[in-house]
Amino acid sequence: MCHHSDKYRFSNIQDLHELEKKMDRRDFLSKTAMGMGALALGSLFSQEGLMAKSLSKGGGLPGLPHHPPKAKRIIYLFQSGGPSQLDLYDYKPTLQRMQGQDLPPSIRGEQRLTGMSANQSVFPIAQSAFEFKQYGKSRAWVSELMPYTAEVVDELCFIKSMITEQINHDPAITFMQTGHQLPGRPSTGAWMSYGLGSENQNLPGFVVLVSKNAVRDQPLYARLWGNGFLPSQHQGVQFRSGKDPVLYLGNPENYEGEDRKQMLDYLKQLNNLQFDTYGDPEINARIAQYEMAFRMQTSVPEVTDLSDEPDWVFDLYGEDSRDPGTYAANCLLARKLIEKDVRFVQLYHQGWDQHGNLPGGIRNQCAKTDQATAALIKDLKQRGLLEDTLVVWGGEFGRTVYSQGTLTEDNYGRDHHPRCFTMWMAGAGVKPGFSYGVTDDFGYNVVQDPVHVHDFHASLMHLFGVDHEQLIFKHQGRRFRLTDVAGNVIHDLFA
């Protein structure tokens, strides 16, 4: 088949001169300069090992994984807003005898404060309103708010010494999701998709689920699961509840599947003509996305249909799991997605930002999430999936030991706290029934084994067989990676 762009092809200098005679100066420069630039860019990427092998099943970069992976898939349960570690997992009995006393200045030091508590004249210590007990063979301390999670503590690897650099929500969430506090960088899931590719030709390698029943105290932006400067097919695809799980995926009214296929075939030809002319690699990414969307028309309705799940599964996850779009239903859907070899499933659940009325607010949050979170661990284990599926739970920062605003006998609030917070992992490659890192008696500073966000990302990538220092992408003259120019793998977390 003869393409119209053939008249612009050339193989030597003589061809260039002949072409210049047939075209005006502007047309010549636009056609040849962009084409030659794209060829040079492609050559550079190939030399540095940055070009993907394929946009089809598998994909990923040559030479990856760098070492044998322990994890093949991940379900990341992101608790947006900053869960209070002091009321859930980091038990501090010292606070009981110091209730209401001003936090010693020596503990707070030069800590940056938010605008919400910077004008307080005193910082009264607030003990947790909830009872803690030890559970499992690991004797892990867990609050009464998490009775279901308490049942699976021997599967969990707690990190109680997480540290972030950001004290406000947007930069902190962006930092946790992309490794940088400013928007524009690729998300963790996008880096995984770019480096390792996808194992399911009919579903995206990176899927995002957002709870519909959450308290929307802090906004979530699509850039949190975006591709940044990576090729666009690596961005997260959001699945929603309702008849259209993926927006604009279905055919228009009176439009048949064969019509859609024919349209895509013609569209691909047009895009190929455009690529021949301009050499923009993003055109190929667009072609891949259109083709994926066509395959998803049958695969997405199938995987999002929970009606074939037996009653005992809904009982395990809780009554909310029968209501699509809730946190519980999304946990169940996440299990179905990783069964279909979706590599990265990210759940977002908002509502953990309790500056006031923390006892009531955090109780409601735990009631919505605790059972389903523990059920996911149990369900994965009984199906043999936990062995190579990593589950992560955590937010963007922790909460302060002192009360924001007035402290009463039965009520308090907690401000943002970046100096220490708790996350946990379970499954592929991590030590079960293990706790890493120690905070001081006030739960304010890390005193042993700090884990920076970059360290966490480096360790996450290591579990997937990726050397975080080697997975790079050159953009605007600089080599970028998820961990920027930092990050150490915390090998003590691994089994």
Q: What is the pLDDT of residue 139?
A: 98
DSSP codes joined into one string, 1-69: ---GGGGG--SSHHHHHHHHHHS-HHHHHHHHHHHHHHHHHHHHHHHTT-S-S-SSSB---TT-SSS--
Give CA 220 to chain center in angstroms: 12
326 vs 304: CA distance, rounded Å: 13
* Neighbouring C-beta atoms of residue 23, cutoff 10 Å: 15
153: helix, strand or coil: helix
The pLDDT, as a whole number, for residue 35 is: 41
- For residue 376, pLDDT over 70 is answered with yes
The residue ranking higher by pLDDT, 394 or 28, is 394
What is the pLDDT of the chain when averaged over all its residues? 87
pLDDT of residue 340: 95
What is the per-residue pLDDT for 458? 98
Would you say residue 5 has pLDDT above 70? no
What band does 43 get if pLDDT is binned at 50, 70 and 90? very low
Mean pLDDT value across residues 181-201: 96
- Tokens at residue 303, please? 């995987």
- Which pLDDT band, with edges at 50, 70 and 90, does 111 fall under? confident
Query: Mean of the pLDDT values across residues 371-387?
Result: 98
Verify cis geometry, omega within 30 degrees of 0, for the bond prior to 124.
no
Under the banding of pLDDT at 50, 70 and 90, the label for residue 135 is very high
Per-residue pLDDT band at 58 (split at 50, 70, 90): low
- pLDDT more than 70, % of the chain: 84
Q: What is the mean pLDDT of residues 457-484?
A: 97
Q: How confident is the model at residue 45 (pLDDT cuts 50, 70, 90)?
A: very low
pLDDT of residue 4: 40
> What integer is the mean pLDDT of 468-495?
97
Banded model confidence at residue 349, pLDDT cuts 50, 70, 90: very high
Pairing state between β 421-427 and 389-394: antiparallel
| Interval 353-368: pLDDT, tens | 999 999 999 999 999 9
Distance CA 81, CA 91 (A): 20
pLDDT of 216 reads 82
**What percent of the chain has a predicted confidence (pLDDT) above 90?**
70
